[in-house]
Every structure is written in C-alpha cells, then in structure tokens.
Amino acid sequence: MSSALVDLARNPRAFTAYKNDPSAREAILNETIRRALPEVLLDRFTTEPLEIHGMTIPTGAKIRFILGAALRDPQVFPNPDEFDWERPREASMALAFGLGTHNCAGQAIARATATAVLDVITERFDRVEVVGEPEWVLSDRHRNCEGLTVRL
C-alpha cells in the first residue's frame, strides 16, 4: 500500500487514470508491484542437475533468485525505473507473488485488499500527496515501509 500511495502521489496522471478508468486499475497495481515488491529475493534448491548459460548446477544446490533485479531488467522492461502502467501486459507481469506451484496463496487477498483501499481513496479524493519522505527499511530480502505520511 505504501508503494502504491507513493506511486500515485508522484504520478498524478496515474491517479487520475485509476480514478476515472476502471480498466486501467489492474495495470496500475501491477506496475506498482513490479517496481516495489516487498520480497526482493527468494531461494530454491535444485532437484536435478540444471544447465544455465553453459554452466551446470548440481542437484541440491541453492539458487538465489533476485526478483528485484529481474523486474528491472532493461531488456524486458524498457525504462525499468519509470512508472509506466501502459506497458504491454506481457511486459508488466510481476513475479512478486511467484509462479506455478510456488505461487503465493495470499496473492488474491493482497490484490483485493490493495484494490479496495485504492478504490476508496480515489473515489473520495482528487489526489494523494506524500508529506516528507517515506521511511523505507531495506534488507537483502525485504523492502518495507515503516513510515509514510500522506495528505488526501
């Protein structure tokens, strides 16, 4: 939610689009998630030998996926640091909630909660403004907002 509020405050055009165009809401939320996922990496272990770019990784090896970097890869996301909810859908999907059997079971409730909050804010107010600087706590695994003041 903090990232979404900061993105909407810094991108008034996105706020207006979210407010007036319900068909843009999912793309705006996806772009926020892509740019500011709370869990920036995950670890997995190989169950069989795996070859990546000519290098063989043995069974049982730990592989660290740095999602934060993957979601800012300029070959996949042109201008990756830019908030652009109008990216083609295939270039805007976030890995923040995982894929396949490792898909986050709470993804639906997280998206529904974020959508409900943003729907109410954009229905009731004409803009969101960040007051001061957000207080981000960053680690090698997580990105969390510990303090955010907004004016609606």
pLDDT in tens, 74-121: 888 889 999 999 988 776 666 777 777 777 788 889 889 999 999 999
Distance of CA 133 to the CA centre of its chain: 20
The highest-confidence range among 19-28, 37-46, 74-83, 96-105, by mean pLDDT, is: 19-28
For the chain, first and last CA: distance in Å?
14
Distance CA 152, CA 129 (A): 6
Task: Specify the DSSP element, H or E, that contains 130.
Answer: strand 129-138
The predicted structure's pLDDT at residue 138:
83
Which of the four pLDDT bands, split at 50, 70 and 90, describes residue 35? Answer: confident
Percent of the chain with pLDDT over 90: 57
Distance CA 22, CA 115 (A): 11
Q: Are 116 and 13 in contact (CB under 8 A)?
A: no
Distance CA 115, CA 141 (A): 25
The predicted structure's pLDDT at residue 88:
81
The predicted structure's pLDDT at residue 66:
85
Number of neighbouring beta carbons within 10 Å of residue 132: 9
Q: What is the pTM of this model?
A: 0.84
The predicted structure's pLDDT at residue 75:
87
Q: Which has the minimum average pLDDT: 56-60, 93-97, 116-120, 130-134?
A: 93-97
Tokens of 70: 């993957």
Distance CA 150, CA 2 (A): 10
The predicted structure's pLDDT at residue 133:
95
Region of residue 59 (left: phi > 0; alpha: psi -120 to 50; beta: else):
beta
